[in-house]
Chains A and B, each alone.
Chain A
């Protein structure tokens, strides 16, 4: 029996090709397997466990373009010991990677419908592969809109993507920051405010939401106010993760394991837990 059982706890070595800075505390690593062969296929919304020698693992969403042959891409915010060490990795350095893990965004299932992407902060990273997939199959979807909230204009990710997306006539891109200096000519205010201004058919719209939990809660309220059905709203949840395959118990959220039942959940799966404290 053992022959077919890959060890999900064993990282494979990946070489860093590029370490690019996005903002003062966010950077993007491009990696490829040290052993010859392509990076494993992934679906938008899935994540990998990145191991840096001697320090430990961090769960990082995959943020590259799944429709193109390109290195595996991870956009990471410096937050803890592991991400601090990852930030220092130079091209040529080697990481250990396990994955991809988790339930992806329902991009395929959303075909034929309007799609709203609501991103807060680093939450744009796991949504970017979804956007790439939507755009690569543009004719299969109705209206597409991205609502992206960040702390300040300096914290905005993927400026060249945003610029390119803004330039398209078949895509609505709304960006808002919490606070800005006078030189920012864009919107200021919470991202949820933008939702009401978009045009979509509420009865035939799928919303993909990723950001801090509180921002997702308020986004859901706004989406519901705009009559989008609970079953069509999807959230990407976060909890402490160690094993990523449902063995270690850390990421439990009510009856769910975020790692294997999520990270993407339909809103009505987590609705009863979302407002509760210390779940």
Chain B
């Protein structure tokens, strides 16, 4: 537990979070590892966890019937994987696959969700940390969609 706490407080995601909330997060946290090729989750799965990546590489992938699977983003050390746990209907919207041996801290989103309902201050703190991740990802997606490196047809 002590080790988990140490790792968590150092992560930017929990920067300046009140001690009591850090404790609470630690209570919802566990160390996990995924071997290369493992699916951490798949599209449509219930989103009960999110992950603070410590090492390795994870691909977010979307597949479409007969077409080839496309990687839309890769995440690595320091990144936070998954935010669907916070937004109804709490379902994954892409596949997450470990591309190499990946170590992470899994946080029980379902448990945190309930705690946020009871303590809106905690809910606010978490929202203020998750929304920038979503925004950042949205901006990145916009850039990717623009196909800026392509030649105009």
Contact = CB atoms under 8 A, between A and B. Distances in A.
Q: Do chains A and B touch in the complex (CB under 8 A)?
A: yes
Interface of A: 25, 77-79, 120-122, 149-151, 155, 176, 178-182, 184-190, 192-193, 197, 211-212, 214-215, 218
A79 B69 contact: no
B143 interface: yes
Nearest to B136: A193
Interface stretch (B41-49, B72-80, B105-113, B117-125): B72-80
B70 interface: yes
Interface stretch (B24-32, B82-90, B145-153): B145-153
Contacts of B71: 179-182, 184, 188
A279 to B, nearest CB: 18
Given A78-B151, A190-B143, 8 more contacts: A122-B149, A178-B149, A179-B71, A181-B69, A181-B71, A197-B76, A212-B148, A214-B148
A101 B52 CA distance: 49
B68 to A, nearest CB: 5
A151 B70 contact: no
Nearest to B152: A79
Given A189-B74, A190-B143, A190-B144, A120 B68 contact: no
A150 B144 CA distance: 10
Interface residues of B, number: 26
A215 B70 contact: no
B144 A187 contact: no
A192 B68 CA distance: 26
B104 to A, nearest CB: 16
Contact of B149 (A186, A188, A193, A212): A212
Given A25-B151, A77-B151, A179 B76 contact: no
A179 B144 CA distance: 8
A180 B69 CA distance: 9
B8 interface: no
Given A187-B74, A189-B74, A193-B140, A182 B68 contact: yes
A179 B146 contact: no
Contacts of A121: 148-149
A149 B140 CA distance: 12
Contacts of B140: 189-190, 192-193
Of residues B68, B74, B100, which shows the largest number of chain A Cβ atoms within 10 Å of its Cβ? B74
B99 interface: yes
B33 to A, nearest CB: 19
A274 to B, nearest CB: 15
A173 to B, nearest CB: 15
Of residues B71, B74, B139, B149, which shows the largest number of chain A Cβ atoms within 10 Å of its Cβ? B149
Nearest to B61: A182
Given A178-B144, A190-B143, A218-B143, A155 B149 contact: yes
B143 A215 contact: yes
A252 to B, nearest CB: 22
Instruction: Give the 8 A-B residue pairs with the shortest CB-CB distance, closest first.
Output: A121-B149, A212-B148, A151-B149, A178-B144, A190-B140, A188-B71, A188-B74, A189-B73
Contact of A151 (B59, B76, B99, B150): B150
Nearest to A221: B139
B60 to A, nearest CB: 8
A120 to B, nearest CB: 6
Contacts of B72: 179, 188
Given A187-B76, A189-B73, A151 B147 contact: yes
